[in-house]
Structure 1
Amino acid sequence: MTARILHADLVLPDPADQGIADGAVLVLDGRIELVGTYGEVHRRTAPQTPVHHFPGATILPGLIDCHVHLSMSGEGDAVATLDASDDRSLLLAMAGRAQELLNAGVTTVRDLGDRGGLAFALRDAIAAGRLPGPRILAAGAPVTVTGGHCWYLGGQADGVDEIRAVVRRNVQNGADVIKVMATGGGLTPDGPAPWVAQYTDEEVRAAVEEARRFGRPVAAHVHGSDGVRIALEAGVDTLEHCTFIPPPGSARGPDDAAAELIKKIAAEGASVCPTFSAVLGETIKRIGESGVRPWLDLVRHQHEQGVRLLAGTDAGIPGSGFGQYVDGLEWFARAGLDNGAILTAATSAAADALGIGHRTGRLRSGLEADLLVVDGDPRTELAALRRALLVLARGRALRPRGEFGGLR
């Protein structure tokens, strides 16, 4: 058995709860064995157990990115780059992007759309220990109408029967989650606009029913209010983006219908991943903060109404790099959320929403050892998350700049 004690000034078992000053975590064979004060953990551990001290640091659960696209580069015309890549070179690039996420303290990602099921292969290689990287939950090809949003990923389906068939195919190929493009989107300019619903109530409901038959959750890409309503009434688990973007010429900000939908989202327990990322910084340069502020205010309003928000960056789309996770969290702060709520959205709330709270998302005895050691206290300074000293993913240790002190 391999046991290690990690000791820091502060341990955050769950950012929603009180931290432990002068705390420690005992990691044993890839799982968390004990969490408590250093004195308590040390007293209950064999005397020869190695101890790694991190003065001035905080130990917290590994971060979770609920929305990434490992098959996309995050630079320039990501779609054209994807189209020009053969599967072999693309898989190698995806492995590098997974490493970037891990270096940033992200120990779990949900890949919500790739080509050819390559994310499944990468997921399995990482889980087997053949490659370093975060835990991957993968959707495979998102379900979309012919010529619809991200049609080039291979999930085109028209009508209830084709939708059910694509869902079954994804499950057979190894999908952990089903992704449905309920509205159009910006990455497919020749397809339906973001505010336009791509599928009817019956069609999205069919996708959810088929996914449920195989025990898979459903994530819905939604922008316009019609798409949000259709996805919510169909019973999807997470709403991605959820911007309530209006058609051109409409009043900015959520209308009365959106306000009612937000109340319904909170009441029904669906989760919203706004996909805040570094892209917003570039957006402000183009259109000014007044153009972005309605979206920030919308997310704050959802939080105030009790909607469970999730951290996710849409990493892979142009302008959202795989090492920029903290940028997205800082946009939550600019929207008006406090750091405790933001850290919860990035850890325990995310794990629960993704159905893996029994495995990760907290520092608790019996859970897998996904944790992050940072210089400083992220409850008072989110930028501390950029100063990673150690990352453990299922007990496998690394530093952003090399391995740490013999930990494996």
Structure 2
Amino acid sequence: MRSVVWGLVLGLLGAASAHAGPITALVGGTLVDGTLREPIRDSVILIEGERITAVGTVDTLPVPAGAKVISTEGMTVLPGLWDMHVHLMINGHADYDYWDRTYPPRLRNEIMPASALQLLHAGVTGARDLGGPLEDSIAVRDAINAGKIPGPTLFVSGPFIQKKPSPGTELFRWGVDSPGDARAKVRRLAQAGVDVVKLIDQDQMRDAEVQAIVDEAHKHKLPVVAHAHRPEEIRRALKAGVDCLEHTGLAASPEYPEDIVAALRERTANMAAGPLFWTPTIEGLYNFPYTVKNHEFIDADAWHEGLSPDTVADIKRSLAHPERISYFQQTPQRWPTLKRKFQQLRDSGVLLLVGTDSGIPMKFHSGSTWNELDVWVNQLGVPPIDAIRAATYWPAVAMKADKDYGSVVEGKYADIIAVKGDVLKQVALLQRVDVVVKHGVQVK
């Protein structure tokens, strides 16, 4: 009877294959599928076209004859990672003022495509790009979606919205001077086709301006993410109803104030309002005392991919003295507060997302995401499966894309990675992703 059933299954798969094209099968690895299901040993994943059609094991799901087989034996198989806070327009250079003067003409054709390629080859198949010139951001996203250049599926914000941008940054930072101007700026972003609105320095705005930004974005069904460097930024963001907060606090205070913790708990208890997300981007600060003294990774070449030799040389020159980088001058005061603040966020009930601020000084797109996961698990006590879901399932939920992304289940896009070894035991294995499949195509 079983052979008859599998005969029918194979027949159906064969018919589907004839219609939809060849089948790809990932066979043999331990699947951590991004759901709360236990890992699946000796897994089989069948893919037709861009989508997953079946998930099982070597004992329960035969591989159709003629399928392309990708062996994952001895590997952990996962949904493609997401990085929810990247900056494609920067690539680790230490001097922002110089970069912003020099590189805008090269952003669309070199810098941003290189950043996207490095993320993809690091196993990041989905990313939220939070800050860049509007036309360049849209063009690069659309080129990736059209298959013209390689990269993760992108969700882009275009320019930051803030009270007043610094001179020389107007290309990717837009100021607002009234509630009406705030609404107009958001409408312009929405009409251009952004996926999310990025709000910063909202503690410098009037409440009516912050509220106008959030209300107009939500009118266009766009989520709003907001900086959370300072307590008043957090208070105003929560009052206005933003959807996600970013970073783990610039202020060197030992913990978040009691009123903010209470407000977070009240907000997360309000089920009708939906989840409140928070992207801590903690690793760049947490590891800085180590990386400033142990910076051999700057001499690695994974972050060179896609960049011209003169760009690589320029970035390396800027990083010759990591201990002098002004971007990190307050880190010694902030570092002792990070563990406590991270734990407060976990205890408050917010849904934490993996994001890295990738692109900031010494934070290369080729390695930022696994470093963030490593700190969460090995320094901050997050269970590996929770960290993985914060880099797969929950990002897709945050971007309302979980129908298509975030877990390895039937019907979703085949965004899958595989890594030699047991990632649930050694999450740092993600620094060397062996197999990357995006939308059913093996890209690594």
Normalised by the length of structure 1, the TM-score is 0.87
8 Å Cα contact 2:254/2:340 also seen in 1? no
Deviates more, 1:297-306 or 1:150-159: 150-159
Q: CA deviation at 1:277?
A: 3.2
AA at the equivalent of 1:227: E
| Residues 1:347 and 2:392 aligned together | yes
Measured against aligned partners, the alpha-carbon deviations of 1:331-375 in whole angstroms (never above 9, x if no partner) come to: 212122121111111110111112111111100111111110111
| Residues 1:126 and 2:144 aligned together | yes
Q: CA deviation at 1:206?
A: 0.8
Give the Cα–Cα distance (whole angstroms) in 1 for the partners of residues 431 and 61 of structure 2.
Answer: 28
8 Å Cα contact 1:107/1:393 also seen in 2? yes
| Residues 1:97 and 2:110 aligned together | no
- 2:372 aligned residue (328, 341, 353): 328
Bigger share in helix = 2
Give the Cα–Cα distance (whole angstroms) in 2 for the partners of residues 276 and 234 of structure 1.
Answer: 25
Q: Map 1:367-406; keep pairs closer than 5 Å.
A: 367-399=412-444
Measured against aligned partners, the alpha-carbon deviations of 1:247-303 in whole angstroms (never above 9, x if no partner) come to: x7xx52222223213313432421000012344322465788885232122112321
- 2:128 aligned residue (97, 106, 110): 110
| Residues 1:144 and 2:179 aligned together | no
Give the Cα–Cα distance (whole angstroms) in 1 for the partners of residues 334 and 236 of structure 2.
Answer: 27
Give the Cα–Cα distance (whole angstroms) in 1 for the partners of residues 216 and 22 of structure 2.
Answer: 43
| Paired position in structure 2 for 1:19 | 39
Q: CA deviation at 1:314?
A: 0.7
Are residues 198 and 91 of structure 1, via their aligned partners in 2, closer, same or farther at CA, if it must alter by over 3 Å?
A: farther
| Paired position in structure 1 for 2:239 | 233
SS in structure 1 of the partner of residue 60 of structure 2: helix
The CA RMSD measured in Å over matched residues stands at: 2.1
8 Å Cα contact 1:75/1:318 also seen in 2? yes
Q: Map 1:308-319; keep pairs closer than 5 Å.
A: 308-319=351-362
AA at the equivalent of 2:24: R
Measured against aligned partners, the alpha-carbon deviations of 1:299-350 in whole angstroms (never above 9, x if no partner) come to: 1232133220000011111122101211111221212212111111111011
Are residues 81 and 90 of structure 1, via their aligned partners in 2, closer, same or farther at CA, if it must alter by over 3 Å?
A: farther
8 Å Cα contact 2:254/2:336 also seen in 1? no
- 2:269 aligned residue (267, 270, 289): 267
Give the Cα–Cα distance (whole angstroms) in 1 for the partners of residues 396 and 200 of structure 2.
Answer: 23
Give the Cα–Cα distance (whole angstroms) in 1 for the partners of residues 85 and 171 of structure 2.
Answer: 18
AA at the equivalent of 2:165: G
SS in structure 2 of the partner of residue 82 of structure 1: helix
- 2:61 aligned residue (27, 36, 41): 41
Q: Extract unaligned runs of 5+ from structure 1.
A: 184-196, 400-408
Give the Cα–Cα distance (whole angstroms) in 1 for the partners of residues 97 and 383 of structure 2.
Answer: 35
| Paired position in structure 1 for 2:327 | none
Give the Cα–Cα distance (whole angstroms) in 2 for the partners of residues 162 and 116 of structure 1.
Answer: 17
| Paired position in structure 1 for 2:287 | 281
AA at the equivalent of 1:387: R
Give the Cα–Cα distance (whole angstroms) in 1 for the partners of residues 261 and 106 of structure 2.
Answer: 46
Aligned-pair identity in percent equals 30
- 1:252 aligned residue (251, 254, 257): 254
Give the Cα–Cα distance (whole angstroms) in 2 for the partners of residues 142 and 152 of structure 1.
Answer: 10
SS in structure 1 of the partner of residue 38 of structure 2: coil
| Paired position in structure 1 for 2:29 | 9
SS in structure 1 of the partner of residue 260 of structure 2: helix
| Residues 1:178 and 2:197 aligned together | yes
Normalised by the length of structure 2, the TM-score is 0.81
AA at the equivalent of 2:72: F
Q: Extract unaligned runs of 5+ from structure 2.
A: 1-20, 293-322, 324-329
Measured against aligned partners, the alpha-carbon deviations of 1:178-216 in whole angstroms (never above 9, x if no partner) come to: 111144xxxxxxxxxxxxx12233221111111112111
Give the number of aligned pairs.
380
Instruction: Please say which structure displays the higher CA radius of gyration.
Output: 2
Deviates more, 1:234-243 or 1:296-305: 296-305
